[in-house]
Amino acid sequence: MTQRLLIGAALLAFAADQISKYAVVHAMELSRRLAIDVLPPLLNFRYGENTGINFGLFEGESDLVRWGLIVFSVAVVAAVLLWVRRTHPGSRIMQLCAGLLIGGALGNVFDRLAYGYVLDFLNMSCCGITNPFVFNLADVFIFVGAVGLVLFEGKSGDKTSRDPEG
């Protein structure tokens, strides 16, 4: 049952990411308009093509960087999937967090395969601080999933293979 939770969370995160990108970037024509103020300064849509990772790290136009990031992302997805299935097979919260991370990562992998870069469109600023960075829902799911995996590691209450007494 918990494996279904992981798969369901991954599918929902992937779908939400791709639907939001299609709606904002294509249907609302953000790629042409480049900027749409939604609730300024708190929430704005700003068009971005990210060839690197968060905050423009490893940014580059080369196919080597693109394919390297695709391979790295798929390896992380596989590692998280194997780790959670082996060490937390009965933990619903760990399965949920892993699913969010995996779905978000695969959303960004899909973009790299389809466009050659990751589509970003969310920009948030607050309290007199202007944030120059853009991100997408996949990034949110990756962040929430990763933080959840760290916070709930060892606190999920399930017996794991690491407990020889268990």
**Six-digit token string for 89:** 């097979």
Four-point Cα dihedral 95, 99, 100, 103, nearest 10: 180
- Name the residue among 112, 131, 116 with its Cα closest to residue 42: 131
94: tokens are 């760990």
Task: Supply angle C-alpha 115, 149, 132, rounded to 5.
Answer: 45
Q: Which of 63, 111, 120, 163 is catalytic?
A: 120
Backbone Cα Rg of the chain: 18
The type of residue at 128 is G
The two three-digit tokens of residue 101, written as one number? 């991370």
Q: Quick check: is 63 catalytic?
A: no
Contact 46, 121 (CB under 8 A): yes
Of the candidates 17, 37, 111, 139, the residue annotated as catalytic is 139
Angle at 104 between CA 131 and CA 99, to 5 degrees: 135
Residue 163 bears catalytic tag: no
Residues involved in catalysis: 120, 139
